Amino acid sequence: MMSEKGFKKVVLGMSGGVDSTLGAFLAAEALGPENVTGILMPYKSSSPASLEHAGLSADKLGIETMIIDITPMVDAYFVRFPDADHVRRGNKMARERMSILYDQAQRGGSLVLGTSNKTETMLGYSTIHGDSASAFNPLGAIYKTEVWMMANLMGVPKVIVEKAPTADLWEGQTDEGELGIDYLTADRILYHLIELKSAENEIEALGIPKAKISAIKNLIEKSEFKRKMPDVPVLQR
């Protein structure tokens, strides 16, 4: 696919989490470490461990990295909107990071590699034109639990695989806390709904509470717009 697009290099954001780390491992193996650049884009509230883990992975792979602090850009905007909540601030951070990735891709003649997994995409746990934006996403067809399995197979450091998943958008934030459900349960429901086309009562028979199934179905429906291209008028010509 890379050759079809006329590129041989990629850039990706490296947060220190398992998704972006696995993306870097896959890219380095497929393209060679010399063709992969990891961009580390911390905000002032980012965990120091996130930066440390991203650096650990980059060093293990031998890929080039660049650190760009997004604090000045994000804070300059919110000076005007000091009452903005966590969601608005988190979305702004995600879009700032993607803006940087696309600029660095242009600078280096590279493609932006996406690192969102299928669980996040189906539940709408992403920012439009933020972390969901990329030219190619090798993780887009696998669920979060499969990301963990593949990360172990690829040799991703255990400290990264085993830590609580977080977008690191504010202190104490975790994916599962925001979603209100653990990834293992979410993936079981998603797999049966999407891959097996199971009915709700069939999933309940597995011992999964109806409330959790309904919550997942609601997240899928509410986020459908995130998975579609913008609507355009249909004209008669």
Instruction: Catalogue all structural domains in the chain, each as residue range(s) with its CATH number.
Output: 7-161 (3.40.50.620), 174-228 (no CATH)
Q: Which residues contact residue 5 at a Cβ distance below 8 angstroms, ignoring those fewer than 6 apart? A: 111, 135, 136
- Binding site feature residues: 13-20, 95, 115, 120, 144, 166
- pLDDT tens, position by position, for the chain (237 residues)? 666 678 899 999 999 999 999 999 999 999 999 999 999 999 999 999 999 999 999 999 999 999 999 999 999 999 999 999 999 999 999 999 999 999 999 999 999 999 999 999 999 999 999 999 999 999 999 999 999 999 999 999 999 999 988 877 767 778 888 888 999 999 999 999 999 999 999 999 999 999 999 999 999 999 999 999 899 999 998
Give pLDDT, residue 172.
Answer: 74
DSSP β-bridge partners for residue 65: 38
Residue 102 phi/psi, 5° resolution? -70, -35
Give pLDDT, residue 3.
Answer: 66
This model's pTM is above 0.75: yes
- Binding site feature residues for ATP: 13-20, 115, 144, 166
- Binding site feature residues for deamido-NAD(+): 95
Give pLDDT, residue 1.
Answer: 63
- Binding site feature residues for Mg(2+): 19, 120
